[in-house]
Structure 1
Amino acid sequence: MVRPVIALDADGVLLDYHLAYAAAWERAFGSHPEERDPQAYWPMDRWKVPKLRLWRRSRFRSEFGELFWSTVPPLPGAIEACHRLRDAGYDLVCVSALEQRYEAARLHNLRALEFPIERVIATGHHEMARSPKADAVEAIGAEVFVDDYLPYFRGVASHIHTALVLRAPNGSPNIGPEMVLASSTHQDLPDFTAHWLSR
């Protein structure tokens, strides 16, 4: 029997990119950044960090390699939410706007954390009229696509339920006329899961 598929974004839905960003900063510069705004959508706004130039920017970027993408911590309740979905009969596939060379690192990360996810599709990131994730989500026959970045719903087929995780509101791109692209909105993955399984 073919199980229905739910496509899940990683950073902001399954994994805490903000904490990983702070850890990368500490590895690069020797000190953990202070928190400025816990409700900030973007990590550079959440943490009290300066804008980087030249070699310091290069030094920080060097931290975003295999180690980074294989050790991002989980968001609260995300692992349990995925197990609930899996136990309810769904196959879960991670569709991430990540460079393809880090696809295996992301899968290793999810497996190490015991997410019930056996496949990662890395689409890369492109700001276009059609989301780079749209083709991947349709190709796997997803019934639902869960993401925390509204522009990634651009071009997704209308028969796919698009669930938007709102999370931190300050500076969020999840506003405006494109909100019509979201079939439903949720504070986090556990909130989506409770909603979806209670239908």
Structure 2
Amino acid sequence: MSDTRTIALDADGVLLDYAKAYANAWAKYSGTVPVEHDPYAYWPMQRWGVPQLTGRALEDFRAHFDEVFWSSIPAVGGALKACELLANNGYELVCITALDARHALARKQNLLSLGFPITRVITTSLHAPLESPKAAALRELKPLAFVDDFGPYFAGVGPNIHKALVVRDPNGSPNTGEVLTLADSHHADLHEFACWWLERNSVSLL
């Protein structure tokens, strides 16, 4: 196991509520606030029941995913408290996010503005042919643990890094079947992971 005190955290779905931000982007694009269609849907499109766009319409919608969008996503409930628990017990928290590098500063500003004790933000591509696009960054960082809500992103992450899966929103989730075996532990949210991790390592939560 790594001798560092680093824990790597995904952003969307673990630290930040991307689904809520998606609804705000849709409202700006369409002029209509979407009504929640399925609160247990994993993917925002299904959660808000909005149509799949193509062509020029898709380009117009994507234009709303700008610096303002990436710097103003709200926090997931309990995530800030979880990070404070970990940081107060001596862990360095690093965000590893599959996001275009040009939005890295906006992402870091977003996290810091919400009070997250995140020391670094590392961006990766969204896809890699043979393993998780985050695997190379994790090999270099060598954290004790890596927390993500997208199970396929554990592929290729070595055994010396504890892989913790946040199992959220089951409808349409990719976290099923063999994907679940890629993770070393499963948790309802980041706060549950933090409490479990600290107890596992005999750290007081007080």
Shorter-chain TM-score: what band? over 0.9
Give the C-alpha shift of residue 59 in structure 1: 1.1
CA distance in 1, matches of 2:135, 2:7: 13
1:128: how far off?
A: 2.7
- For structure 2, list consecutive stretches of 5 or more residues without a partner in the other structure: 201-206
CA distance in 1, matches of 2:168, 2:180: 15
Match of 1:195 in 2: 196
**Contact between 1:149 and 1:174, CA under 8 Å: does it hold in 2?**
yes
Corresponding residue for residue 109 of structure 1: 110
Contact map agreement 1:9 1:147 (CA 8 A) in 2: yes
Cα displacement (A) at 1:188:
0.5
How far apart are residue 162 of structure 1 and its match?
A: 0.1
SS at match of 1:145: strand
Name the counterpart of 2:167.
166
What is the deviation of 1:53? Answer: 3.2
Aligned-residue identity in percent: 52
CA offset digits 1:23-67 (Å, max 9, x no partner): 000111111101110000000000021222332211111011111
Q: Which residue of 2 aligns with 1:120?
A: 121
- Give the TM-score normalised by structure 2: 0.93
The CA deviation string for residues 92-121 of structure 1, in whole angstroms up to 9 with x for no partner, is: 000000011111110010011010002100
- Compute the displacement of 1:80 (Å): 0.8
Show structure 1 runs of 4+ deviating over 6 A: none
1:53-64 paired onto structure 2 within 5 Å: 53-64=54-65
CA distance in 1, matches of 2:84, 2:35: 33
Output the CA distance in 1 between the equivalents of 2:43 and 2:179.
Answer: 19
Q: Which residue of structure 1 lines up, in the alignment, with residue 24 of structure 2?
A: 23
The answer to whether the aligner puts 1:130 opposite 2:131 as a matched pair is: yes
| Displacement of 1:140 | 1.3
Where 2:58 maps in the other structure, the secondary structure is helix
CA positional deviation for 1:69: 0.7
CA distance in 2, matches of 1:90, 1:50: 42
Paired residues of 1:12 and 1:148 also in contact (CA < 8 A): yes
Q: 1:132-181, CA deviations, whole angstroms, 9 ceiling, x for partnerless residues?
A: 10111121120000000011001001111000001100000001113221
> Is 1:177 equivalent to 2:196 in the alignment?
no
**SS of aligned partner of 1:105:** helix
- Measure, in 1, the Cα distance between the counterparts of 2:130 and 2:165: 18
2:140 corresponds to which residue? 139
Shift of 1:129: 2.2
In the alignment, is the contact (CA less than 8 A) between 2:4 and 2:142 conserved in 1? Answer: no
TM-score by length of 1: 0.96
